[in-house]
Structure 1
């Protein structure tokens, strides 16, 4: 006797009924670590609860999550209360969460925070260490998976924004055991190429585990020590890795990294065109101003009748020359008269002038003047200065003033 054949829908419906009737699964409390968290635009939250051995797909509808007192993130330890049911269109069982409580950071997330704090305290993420991105890189190095969505997004954006830019790809696994070493080797390879102006290290989104290679301490130190500016574009906008903090610039997504790497060709062309128009306008304005100034200068008398202006200037120069000569002569004559007057005064005070009036000066043999009789003795030889010459004599007798009066 053949067994009855059931349709896929019948099997799925049967399993759903079994789960619905199970009292344990109808009201279940599960503890685990959040992973692959996604808050949909509908308001519903989709995530995975995991431990070391297994994973449980979970959903929390907006009606239940709007009263949450925390923002769920990958790596958090939580306690979820709900029920297990089957999502029939996919034939997948999942936990429908009615209540979610935060317990503490997951082990992996705790490692991430510890490393982040360590490198931050070392100053590895300091702004003063960051390099500026080149304005127009001629060649960009790209470290990523050659088969992932990230490389397609980056190349598409680069081509759209600035087609002439050249790209050199250093292929690397972006998750798994070998990915850390391959990412580091990719950066080293591009650093040794002289033509590389900028490096992008990137991958698409994923769980904390998927992105773990970008939370490597070795990779972070390599990025921070690189001589070439590096943009990190890892995951989605809400994903932050250690590589993001170590890089010179962090982009929210791979596409955003490409947009930061190059200028938009159309916008740049428009800016250059507008700049050219402004320069032409400024040049035309300056030329017009110069023409107006030249026209104004041409209207001045010196341009209309230059000979007349020169004649007037020559006449003024002649007048000034005559005036200067006259005043200079008067000045010197006045000074000469003053000098003559002073010379006369000095002449009147001269000893020689006094001698011409009958006076004389008597000096001893050593040349000192004799002003008192008491300085002379009988037998002294004296010199007497007179107007026109001198006399030498010998003292025969010395008489005091009283003897002369008698």
Structure 2
């Protein structure tokens, strides 16, 4: 037995301290994984499992957060999520509480971009005090870009219009693709080694996040920061922002705007105004990054002690009970359905209608047999009748008459067989085949 009772944990206390330990040691994390076991109960919260080929983790995304998701998650979908590690104390499971979710393709690039921004900002590459002023009298500009792109044409057009005396040296490099970042780094090194220009302009036209991705390279950022020659970044359109914009001494919203900054006109105030505006914007962006990092740290501390965490735990427990109840009801209903089907089968088997149908069938069969037997008997009796009729006809007096003979009867109706039975004056009736003849005896010859 331990001497100090405080060393004896309850399960609730242990799970609570493990939760505080995980939430204290692990800050917000990004996770790229596949969705499975997704469910959305009536509370509006989402519960899912994120997995890869070897492991999985349970996750929850509460209603206030998932309302910001622009798509409906589905099992098998690859997503990029951001969240905090925690412990669901009632079950003792560690889980990820998601606060952001996006499809994995575009989201991964955006997450890498934000992560690199925070890293380089913490290393001081965006610091305002390291930014160098542009030379006052610019005679030669080095442009790092594609020699066939639209950006160099716009730059040369602006310089020709505003200050044709400025000389332009092009350091050709790819500005898109997997190997573009290395080419841009080599161009910066080459320009610094030759030391023949007053300022460098790193530029290209607009494009998608993937098109501009080579300007978000960490190695390129360090080359820009270490460049001895002041460097201006003018990548894409005004709404496009890359890592090179943050590291450069000055950021121009477009290639044409960069050419405006680097050339003089009759009133040089515009150049100074644009320079100060760009510098102020860089400083403001650097300040925002610092405050964002501090805000994330404070939000994480607030999150750990937020009373809503306890409420979310209760909500998650309620949703689990609700899902279990629904599953139990479905199983119970399925069981009742199977039982009902079995009883219905038995009822149909024992139903009087079934027996009645069977009896009706048997009755019809017996009726047919009786009818067949009667028909057979009638035929048999008819044959017997015809046979007897034939025999009767054979011995019938009528048959004798039909052969030309006649039968004579006395007045008593007796058949006369002998002349001794008649005398003169008797009335006789003679039957022929057709009709009868009545006669009176006038002479009777006796048999000798």
Same-fold call, TM cutoff 0.5: no
Please report the TM-score for the alignment, with normalisation by the length of structure 1: 0.41
Larger helix fraction of residues = 2
Kindly name which structure, 1 or 2, has the bigger radius of gyration based on alpha carbons: 2
Using the size of structure 2 for normalisation, the TM-score is 0.37
